[in-house]
Structure 1
Amino acid sequence: MSRLSFASFPVLTVQVGSVALGVSLLLSGCQGGSSPSSAPTETGSTTAAPTPDTSSPGSPAVTSGTTAPSGVYKPADAKGKAQNVPVPVMPELAKENTKEGLEAFIRYWYAQLSYVDETGDMSSWLPLISRDCRLCVRLQESGEDGYSNGRWLVGGKISVPVVEVQWGADSVKAVKVQVIQDQIDYFNPDGSVGRTRSEASNDAFALFASFAEGQWIVVDLAVIA
């Protein structure tokens, strides 16, 4: 899959407050090259592997890190859910109100989305979003649907090869993010197909975050058209 070129994307192509719901995204299963529309879509998933920063040749490598639960990690397959999934750990850098801190936070944020997909556990991800972020709420709803009635997800590994932070004086910081996600399959407890497959994707996103009460919060998210 070809990598997107971010040089030609103005970060404010999508303004704060606008949400593109006509594309399959992250937990909703990003579908590459889609145009925004007002209708939400069903899809979704990711994995918990942290991704190093490759946004520029001189950038330091930043990962979220994980803690391993007892037992051997087993990814989900057609026969059952993932087991003993490594838990993403927020790096200390991600707690800083700096450009580097925001980048580390974003990579952790996507690692948490991966963990949600593999486990259905949103307890660490939900505190990282504003309820005013409509697309974030859609991601929550899609994640919950992915595990409804005993259903689970297979595949959907996500990587974030490019993160470009637009650091300025405004309290809300704008970031351009490239998100690549593998194919996702859905299964019911009886082994039947639980939902239509989500194809692999490669998309550009505008993410907006603010720092309050000692932590970063995602306040809006949208596809860059």
Structure 2
Amino acid sequence: MQGSKMLRGALATLGVASLLALSACAGDDGTTTEPSASTPSSSAAPSSSTPPEPKKATPEGPAQNLVPPELPEEAEEFSEEGFKAFIEYWYEAASYGIATGDDSYVSQVSDEGCSGCTRILNMIENIGQGGSEQWIVGGEMQATDIIAKLHGGQGENQTAYFTLRKFAGDAYGKDGLLDGGDNVLKDGVVKFEFDASYENGAWLATRTAARN
């Protein structure tokens, strides 16, 4: 995530059920006739739909129907395990943004003053500007071996240390690999540290940086 080059150019059933109302009809002779049986309408059967299959980006086209990241309940706790779960989610959200150009999930859990977060958000924004004309193949990030120790109370910055696994990402367009688009996101394993504060029942990233 740290120091990634910006892309060149503009990397930029409802089913409705029918109800049949049957009523008795009085005949001219005062007798009551039984209602005739009705054949159920085929339209009364509830329709079902299958969610579209998620597809990762390939050199032939951008990602489609990816499932957005979901903040786990554990990541809402003020605990060491909650802190770890939050960090894992943060990088899932960042990876989703790189794949789709949608930075909303990671921005919601990042403080405006977090410079490392801003670099990721700017990169996602640049990717998103390309719409369906340019996209990234690869570029995922994953936090592993997280060590999180709480010090102080809520509202104070907490620091975690971990290994960040970055996967190479290439930039493609409708005509193929973009000029200079190979390995625009670098592959690597980096020792990282991550600060976040916990307030009002939620974590917020405040700093991300490589460890010396």
SS in structure 1 of the partner of residue 102 of structure 2: coil
106-115 or 197-206, which deviates more:
197-206
Unaligned runs of 5+ in 2: 8-49
Corresponding residue number in structure 2 for 1:179: 164
Q: CA RMSD in A?
A: 1.9
- Superposed CA offset, 1:58-99 (max 9, x none): xxxxxxxxxxx9211211011111111122211111101111
1:206 to 187, 193, 206: 193
- Moved segments of 4+, more than 4 Å: none
Q: Deviations over 1:88-143 (max 9, x none)?
A: 21111110111111111111111111111111112221110011111211111111
8 Å contact kept, 2:98–2:140: no
Structure 1 unaligned spans of 5+:
1-24, 30-40, 44-68
Give the aligned residue type for 2:63.
Answer: A
Query: Offset of 1:196 from its aligned partner?
Result: 4.3
When Rg is computed on C-alpha atoms for both structures, the one with the higher figure is 2
Q: Which has the higher contact order (CA 8 A, sep 6+)?
A: 1
Match of 1:217 in 2: 204
Cα distance in 2 for partners of 1:159, 1:210 equals 21
Task: Select the residue among 95, 113, 134 that pairs with 1:132.
Answer: 113
Contact 1:146 1:186 in 2 (8 A): no
C-alpha separation in 2, matches of 1:147 and 1:80: 14
Matched, 1:156 2:139: yes
Tell me, yes or no, if structure 1 residue 79 matches structure 2 residue 60: yes
Contact persistence 2:194–2:205 (CA under 8 A): yes
Per the alignment, residue 42 of structure 1 pairs with: 6
Could you tell me which amino acid in structure 2 is paired with residue 179 of structure 1? Answer: L
Tell me by how many angstroms 1:189 deviates.
Answer: 3.1
| 8 Å contact kept, 2:88–2:142 | no
SS at match of 1:87: coil
- Residues 142, 166 of structure 2: 8 Å contact kept: yes
Map of 2:51 onto structure 1: 70
Partner amino acid for 2:201?
G
The offset of 1:158, in angstroms, is: 2.6
2: CA distance between counterparts of 1:42 and 1:177? 25
Q: Is the 8 A contact 2:148 2:159 kept in 1?
A: yes
Given that 1:133 and 1:220 are in contact with CA atoms closer than 8 Å, whether structure 2 keeps it comes out as yes
Deviation of 1:162 (Å): 1.1
Give the one of 144, 163, 176 matched to 1:191: 176
Look up the match of 1:102: 83
